[in-house]
Amino acid sequence: MRAPSKVNLHLGVDDLRSDGYHELTTVFQALSLSDDVRIAPAGSLAVSVHGEGAAQVPTDRTNLVWQAAVRLGHLAGRAPLVEIEIEKGIPVAGGMAGGSADAAATLVGLNELWSLEMSRDELADVAAELGSDVPFALHGGTALGRGRGEKLLPVLSRNTFHWVLALAKEGLSTPKVFGELDRLRENGDPPRLGDPQELLQALASGDATQLAPLLGNDLQAAALSLNPALRRTLRAGVEAGALAGIVSGSGPTCAFLCGSEDDAVEVSAELSGAGVCRSVRTATGPVPGARVLADGRH
Ligand code: ATP
């Protein structure tokens, strides 16, 4: 299966609710930077991880793919006797929902392997129980998310957008970033995003120049407060010719929207040389959600 990463084009975060969560209004876009997940029948449930940041990813029951297999197995009345191999391309703890993508790929793969014939909606219900970003990883494309991000509506998006991603040296913990935003809000009044109406119109028009100034992320101030070096990264991308740069989700990956594929190649080359990040990737969006590759290979 191929599982896409995501960037939040708009991430509005409401105040902390009494149940400990924040109500979100977000516009997700699925990107071509992806993980590959292979599943094969086995004598017991086992997970292995290779590639980008593999050493930081657990292979026990705390891995989201393990939880996805157990939960779907429970629903289907089957023991989850499978070996799940993850090839990471998505940075770990990078604000690009890599773990959620792997979980979505596992649901799609097991639905096929076990011939469960569950609909996308049924799989989305299981996905929402696993984590708030998992339904979008199944959905793919561009979507408006509410609640904790799990209540999705498709968004009309014309054209393919070109992105450059600056991967940071160390990850940021999502709960820590939300905690930092709460702290900043207790001590002051950092600016908040309005509704994403204008951004949705820019997506429908397919014009990257119109979209660029409307990108926004309420978590960015918190991510920058925890990792001030990201300011330099954001500045360097724009100086290199990107239309705009934002912190992706809870960070620390920085995502730069570019005007064309050629611009993206140029921005990525300049960013690589500037020494402001660990590595650089180009990507396009929107792409489809987690899916079985036709022949099981690339
Ligand atoms: P999000 O933006 O959804 O908060 P993220 O992209 O910042 O997520 P992930 O890479 O999805 O971060 O994972 C964060 C943590 O979850 C990792 O540090 C790791 O310990 C744990 N984890 C569990 N399963 C996975 C997985 N399959 N891939 C990556 N991390 C996983």
Q: Is residue 292 part of a domain?
A: no
The answer to the question of residue 275 being in a domain is yes
- Tokens 């939040």 correspond to 8
Same domain, 170 and 59: no
In angstroms, the Cα distances linking 155 to 9, 104, 136 are 12, 20, 12
Q: How far apart are CA 187 and CA 222, in angstroms?
A: 12
Fill in the DSSP letter of residue 56. Answer: G
- Concerning whether 6 is annotated as a catalytic residue, the answer is yes
Grouping H, G, I as helix, E, B as strand and the rest as coil, residue 288 is: strand
Q: Is residue 151 part of a domain?
A: yes
184/219 Cα distance (integer angstroms): 11
* Segments forming the whole domain that contains residue 169: 161-285
- Nearest atom within ligand 1 for CA of residue 63: 24
Same domain? 191 vs 271: yes
179 labeled binding residue: no
Final residue of a domain: which of 155, 178, 209? 155
In a domain, residue 227? The reply is yes
Residues 51 and 26 in one domain: yes
Is residue 99 a known part of a binding site? yes
Q: Is residue 123 part of a domain?
A: yes
What are the pocket residues of ligand 1 if the criterion is a CB atom closer than 6 Å to any ligand atom?
56-58, 62-65, 86, 92-100, 102, 133, 174, 249-250
- Reported as a single tens digit per residue, the pLDDT across 3-61 is 999 999 999 999 888 888 899 999 999 999 999 999 999 999 999 999 989 999 999 99
* 204-233 pLDDT, tens digit each: 999 999 999 999 999 999 999 999 999 999
Q: Residue 292: name the closest of 108, 40, 85, 104 by CA.
A: 108
Q: Are residues 68 and 130 in the same domain?
A: yes
Q: Could you say which of 139, 155, 171 is where a domain stops?
A: 155
Residue 29 inside a domain? The answer is: yes
What pLDDT, in 10s, does the model give residues 141-193? Answer: 999 999 998 999 999 999 999 999 999 988 899 999 999 999 999 999 888 99
User: Beta strand pairing status for 22-41 and 142-146?
Assistant: antiparallel
Q: Please compute Rg for the chain using Cα positions.
A: 19
Look at residue 296 in the predicted model and tell me its pLDDT.
Answer: 52
State in Å: Cα 98 to ligand 1 middle.
6
What's the CATH number where 275 sits? Answer: 3.30.70.890
Atom of ligand 1 lying closest to residue 248 CA: 2
Residue 239 maps to a domain: yes
The last residue of one of the domains, among 155, 172, 202, is 155
